[in-house]
Amino acid sequence: MEIYLTIEELAGYLKLAEQTIRRWVLNSEIPFHKIKKVIRFRVSEIERWVDGGGICKTNTCNVFNHDDVSDNGLYDEASREFDSD
């Protein structure tokens, strides 16, 4: 079974600030999945991304949206997460 991490868990895993992860999500610089109103990261995709130098190749850092929420919904959610810090 695939393991998914939250923003907070991924920040700890990569030893980075949560704000950095949120910024990368907003800019589609890191592979992530949006499931309903939450953002999750597959460990296997993150490891592949890190092994590749943290660079998104074509279509590898797009939003994987599992409920047909528009990109505006992602932006709104990430903005709210920024405001909650």
The whole-number pLDDT of residue 58 equals 57
Predicted confidence pLDDT, tens digits, the chain (85 residues): 889 999 999 999 999 999 999 999 998 899 999 988 899 999 999 999 999 888 876 566 765 655 544 444 554 555 555 444 4
The whole-number pLDDT of residue 72 equals 47
DSSP letters spanning 32-78: EEEETTEEEEEHHHHHHHHHTTS-PPTTSSSEEESS---HHHHHHHH
The whole-number pLDDT of residue 1 equals 83
The whole-number pLDDT of residue 39 equals 95
